[in-house]
Structure 1
């Protein structure tokens, strides 16, 4: 049975993708990786990732276009902050019988593909503590008051940046039916923080895939992985979670801009620069506002409601 990893990217996230691929290849030289283009601006990053890491571009680009068009038919063009995130649903129809999907704002600290071993007894895996924060950024309280889901079911919500499953477990017809259901009930979802695909993917998971497993609920628990968690301890180029006395499996800068001064910047910088044949990233220097600009902004702020 063949296994592989999917990522979604374009030229804009080249540095992120390089950091992720450097970390994957440090621990695993062989697992095949397929890139799903986020939009039409992907040729430069595709060339870089193919040359240095053996990444292949997803073959059925017609399907990706079809998926995008159906999404717009169901929801319209202004419903989501980043509708192209839904292109990751092409994972269900690609070459791998079992697969991991990984966002590019992640670096890994192990042979990450081995987590697919959990699929022996499950159909879907994820690995995060999103559920401990309640249903924010996924659902509104309506899903409970109208009994769309039970209290037990919503404890399985997850972050859409890292998950794994099996080919064709979700069909193209399933996807379009889910889009239609969700478009008919926008009151079920929490888009207040401009999340895009995460609420819809969680709805689909809870409705269509009963055999699911969150790795952090394994015996002995598992480490955290969000870069907004500041108690992780650095040991060399790895991170440890002292609350469970375990090395992190991966670190995810979800909702955090990766730039000098961000949490665990040195960790990201290390993995980004592992390949000496690639130039280091360049980050624009932030221009500090002068005192008069700051004062002007403070004056303007109370009157912003007058703008139409």
Structure 2
């Protein structure tokens, strides 16, 4: 059984991608990582991440292209703000048996692939408080609740689409296409008012097709948060803590990455980790430096 991580990137997000991979390799030198190209402009980021961190390009590029074309056929031209964001859905049909998908505007603070152990209990997991804070915002319209498209219990499982895990084969290509066509027929189900693309559709897919779901923050006492818009996290040794609990990752969802952004110096630390620009780094990085000089 192969376990690993998928990301979606192109050259435009190379800085974020480097920061993410530096953080992943800081805590895990061996986990396989595959890059799903966002579009045709990905060679620079692919070469850089391959050289630094042995990241591989998703091997089934024809599948990615065919899936992208199918999305264009299924959805009206004005339905999805950035249709290529849907490419992350090919993770269910890639080389990894168990996988975590991670957006590039994230850095991690632990050996993140260990969370795949959760798949011994469920077929899909997330790790965020969208269900408690934003609720259905940026996912579903009130119509979904009013018409009982999903039960109240199911709607408690909505999630942010930037970090999640599952296993190959849980969703078939036939099931996915049929469900995507259902989504395309019901624009009124979704909340696209703030420009999200894949999140509403991914939530619909998971709630409809995967019965065994879990959320890593739903533990006694609650897990640590993860959103960079939360000002209350405490920093220690370039990790963040939420009321004493170490964050698994930090996600700048909806926040433009630039000087002055929340936790900007923390992001800089991971972005330039292999440059040796910062003095205090986790212990494993001494070996990391020797591997990527």
Task: State the TM-score, normalizing by the size of structure 2.
Answer: 0.92
**CA contact 2:76–2:184 (8 Å) conserved in 1:** no
Report the CA distance between 1:151 and its aligned residue. Answer: 1.3
Q: How many residues are aligned here?
A: 276
Q: Distance in 1 between matches of 2:92 and 2:219?
A: 25
Larger CA deviation: 55-64 vs 213-222: 213-222
TM-superposed deviation, 1:230: 0.6
Q: Name the SS of the counterpart of 1:100 in structure 2.
A: strand
Residue by residue, what CA displacement relative to the aligned partner does 1:76-132 show, whole Å, maximum 9, x if unpaired? 222111110110111111111100000000000000000000100110010000001
Q: Which runs of 5+ in 2 are unaligned?
A: 278-293
The DSSP-based 3-state class of the residue aligned with 1:149 is coil
Q: CA deviation at 1:271?
A: 0.3
Q: Provide the residue aligned with 1:178 in structure 2.
A: 179
1:239-278 deviation digits (Å, cap 9, x = unpaired) = 1101xx2011100000001110000001100000001289
Deviations 1:191-212 (A, max 9, x none): 0001001001100111000100
User: C-alpha separation between the residues in 1 aligned to 2:199 and 2:51?
Assistant: 32
Q: Which residues of 2 match residues 107-256 of structure 1 at below 5 A?
A: 107-132=107-132, 133-242=134-243, 245-256=244-255
Match for residue 289 of structure 1? none
For residues 62 and 225 of structure 1, do their structure 2 counterparts lie closer, same or farther at Cα, with a shift above 3 Å needed? same
SS of 1:191's partner is: coil
Find the counterpart in structure 2 of residue 292 from structure 1.
none
Which is greater in Rg?
A: 1
Q: Does residue 1:99 correspond to 2:99, yes or no?
A: yes
Query: How big is the shift at 1:220?
Result: 3.5
Determine helix, strand or coil for the equivalent of 1:217: coil
Shift of residue 234, structure 1, vs aligned partner: 1.3
Secondary structure of the 1:270 match is helix
Aligned to 2:282: none
Distance 1:19 1:256 in 2: 16
Whole-Å Cα distance in 2 between the matches of residues 264 and 72 of structure 1? 37
TM-score, with structure 1 as normaliser: 0.88
1:49 alignment counterpart: 49
| Residues 101 and 165, structure 2, Cα contact 8 Å, conserved in 1 | yes
- Aligned residue number for residue 17 of structure 2: 17
Greater alpha carbon shift after TM alignment, 261-270 vs 167-176: 167-176
Give the equivalent residue in structure 1 for 2:62: 62
1:269-288 equivalence runs, <5 A: 269-276=268-275
* CA deviation profile, 1:163-198 (whole Å, cap 9, x unmatched): 000012111111211111011111000000010010
Structure 1 stretches of 4+ with a deviation exceeding 4 A read none
| Cα offsets for 1:197-236 (capped at 9, x unmatched) | 1001100111000100000002332100000001111113
CA–CA distance in 1 between the matches of 2:248 and 2:200? 24
CA RMSD of aligned residues (A): 1.1
